[in-house]
């Protein structure tokens, strides 16, 4: 089992590696362009913890609670990325999504249409990217290779968080805040009570295999080889994840 501090360190390295790979692409995205910032962002618990740790360091937890009170309806997928990948790899019929995507703006956008916690944003937000300005054209055009790199990276991040919660960021963060408060109350009372988990959340699943189109396999293999070689303390990401390529 991957411990939580190892998972957080691994996550930060994955974000860094992906950002460096994306910087080579020619994308139309720029600060203040936020049509992609809706209420459909999914996270693992480790990603939620990274956000909570960062906001706690910046004394911004009250701001977070206020923002979460404004969250409104959220997009709630019925399958995690690895559940979906498993069904595809096993040739099963994919279940329809329970709810439509919610296109209302993310509550973390500021008045300038910029993300208020940009450096802490989870990987789903780092997947946004279009070769054309979607605000102008009305639709994103994502290069195929970016879509593939994003999918395998989402799969790895879920594998890293396996056994813990996975779901919409706006459901996972309140659940984690409640869990932390309940832990603190129980500690104060000297009791050990069961912790409530949130509704609509799923459990992150291990990697069932990577979902890659045949014509993208060589490039994805290079990406994964580089990613798995990233050093984390005295080990590397591939060893921590226990995934063989």
CA distances from 129 to 66, 94, 119 (A): 29, 25, 16
State the nearest-atom distance from the C-beta of 238 to ligand SF4, in Å. Answer: 28
The answer to whether 149 touches 18, Cβ cutoff 8 Å, is yes
Per CB under 6 A, 109 contacts ligand SF4? yes
Contacting ligand SF4 within 115-154 (CB under 6 A): 115, 121, 125, 128-130, 133-135, 140
Per CB under 6 A, 48 contacts ligand SF4? no
Radius of gyration of the chain (CA): 18
| Sign of the C-alpha dihedral computed for residues 164, 170, 176 and 182 taken in this order | negative
Per CB under 6 A, 167 contacts ligand SF4? no
State the nearest-atom distance from the C-beta of 74 to ligand SF4, in Å. Answer: 12
Q: Which of 72, 226 has the CB closer to ligand SF4?
A: 72
Distance of alpha carbon 71 from alpha carbon 195, whole angstroms:
23
Count of positions on this chain that bind ligand SF4 (CB under 6 A): 20
Per CB under 6 A, 71 contacts ligand SF4? no
Q: Which of 120, 237 has the CB closer to ligand SF4?
A: 120
Q: Which of 67, 159 has the CB closer to ligand SF4?
A: 67
Distance of alpha carbon 159 from alpha carbon 85, whole angstroms:
12
Per CB under 6 A, 106 contacts ligand SF4? yes
Provide the 10 A C-beta neighbour count for residue 191. Answer: 8
Per CB under 6 A, 50 contacts ligand SF4? no
Helices (H), the chain: 4-22, 45-57, 61-69, 81-89, 123-126, 134-137, 144-160, 169-189, 217-228, 237-241
Per CB under 6 A, 41 contacts ligand SF4? yes
Q: Which of 14, 207 has the CB closer to ligand SF4?
A: 14
Q: Which of 131, 216 has the CB closer to ligand SF4?
A: 131
Q: Which of 43, 224 has the CB closer to ligand SF4?
A: 43
End-to-end CA distance of the chain: 19
Q: Which of 5, 65 has the CB closer to ligand SF4?
A: 65
Residue 235 has φ and ψ, to the nearest 5°, of -120, -170
Instruction: Choose, by CB under 6 A, the member of 25, 35, 61, 212 that binds ligand SF4.
Output: 35
Instruction: Please give the biggest Cα pair distance in the chain.
Output: 59
The owner of tokens 């703006």 is 105
Q: Which stretch binds ligand SF4 (CB under 6 A): 35-43, 66-74, 147-155, 205-213?
A: 35-43
Binding-site ranges for ligand SF4 (CB under 6 A): 28-29, 33, 35-37, 41, 106, 108-109, 115, 121, 125, 128-130, 133-135, 140
């Amino acid at each position: 089992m991957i411990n939580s501090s190892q998972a957080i360190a691994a996550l930060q390295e994955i974000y860094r590696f992906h950002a460096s790979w994306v910087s080579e692409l020619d994308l139309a995205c720029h600060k203040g362009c936020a049509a992609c910032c809706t209420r459909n962002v999914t996270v693992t618990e480790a990603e939620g913890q990274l956000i909570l740790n960062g906001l706690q360091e910046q004394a911004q937890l009250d701001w977070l609670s206020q923002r979460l009170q404004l969250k409104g309806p959220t997009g709630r997928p019925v399958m995690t990325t690895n559940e979906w990948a498993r069904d595809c790899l096993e040739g099963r019929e994919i279940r329809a999504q329970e709810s439509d995507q919610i296109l209302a703006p993310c509550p973390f956008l500021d008045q300038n249409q910029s993300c208020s916690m940009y450096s802490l944003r989870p990987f789903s937000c780092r997947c946004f990217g279009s070769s054309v300005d979607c605000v102008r054209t009305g639709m994103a055009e994502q290069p195929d290779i970016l879509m593939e790199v994003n999918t395998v990276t989402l799969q790895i991040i879920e594998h890293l968080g396996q056994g813990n919660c996975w779901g919409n960021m706006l459901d996972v963060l309140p659940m984690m805040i409640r869990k932390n408060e309940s832990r603190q109350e129980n500690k104060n009372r000297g009791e050990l009570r069961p912790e409530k988990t949130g509704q609509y959340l799923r459990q992150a699943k291990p990697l069932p295999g990577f979902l890659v189109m045949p014509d993208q396999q060589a490039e994805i293999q290079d990406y994964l080889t580089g990613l798995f070689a990233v050093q984390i303390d005295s080990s590397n990401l591939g060893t921590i994840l226990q995934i063989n390529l």
